[in-house]
């Protein structure tokens, strides 16, 4: 248990689309699972594998969102896609640092959480609002 404060899913996180909400819920559950599963006895290799799982899921999720934006010809598509690329780039960099013992897992979890709380609530919601 790392003990970052992981919020429980709340309706205020909803973007108003079931498919995307389910993906966001799952993303949050992966962060929670990572936070709960790791303690000082956990091997760094295993932690790295869990981080890889989160990274793969984030890629999948971004692909889903971008396909939906393409489908609805969202005006903010390019900007949003760029934000996704920046998040993936940053988390990849942090995972590499973790592998080299240069980053604390607690900081990575903090980063994933702030991504969830800011990107999801602000940027993802903006797209779904535009569909109304």
Residue ranges binding Fe ion (CB under 5 A): 65, 124
Q: What is the closest distance, in whole angstroms, from the C-beta atom of residue 51 to Fe ion in the complex?
A: 18
Residue pair 85/63 in contact by the 8 Å Cβ criterion: no
Q: Scanning the structure block, which residue is given the tokens 């780039």?
A: 89
Closest residue to bound Fe ion by CB: 124
Cα separation, 119 vs 26, whole angstroms: 15
Closer to Fe ion by CB, 47 or 84: give it: 84
Closer to Fe ion by CB, 35 or 65: give it: 65
Closer to Fe ion by CB, 15 or 47: give it: 15
Q: What is the closest distance, in whole angstroms, from the C-beta atom of residue 74 to Fe ion in the complex?
A: 11
Closer to Fe ion by CB, 2 or 128: give it: 128
How far from chain centre, in Å, is Cα 60? 11
Q: What is the closest distance, in whole angstroms, from the C-beta atom of residue 24 to Fe ion in the complex?
A: 6
Residue 12 vs residues 16, 29, 33, 112, 122: alpha-carbon distances, Å: 10, 16, 21, 18, 11
Helix (H) or strand (E) holding 112: helix 105-115
Q: What is the closest distance, in whole angstroms, from the C-beta atom of residue 45 to Fe ion in the complex?
A: 29
């Amino acid at each position: 248990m790392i003990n970052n404060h992981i919020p429980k899913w709340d309706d205020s996180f909803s973007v108003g689309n079931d498919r995307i909400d389910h993906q966001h819920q799952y993303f949050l559950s992966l962060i929670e699972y990572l936070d709960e599963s790791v303690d000082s006895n956990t091997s760094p290799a295993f932690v790295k594998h869990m981080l890889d799982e989160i990274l793969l899921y984030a890629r999948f999720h971004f692909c889903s969102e971008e396909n939906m934006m393409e489908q609805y010809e969202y005006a903010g598509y390019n900007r949003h896609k760029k934000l996704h690329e920046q998040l993936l780039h940053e988390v990849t960099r942090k995972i590499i640092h973790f592998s080299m013992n240069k980053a604390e897992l607690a900081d990575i979890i903090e980063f994933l959480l702030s991504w969830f709380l800011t990107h999801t609530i602000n940027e993802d919601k903006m797209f779904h609002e535009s569909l109304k």
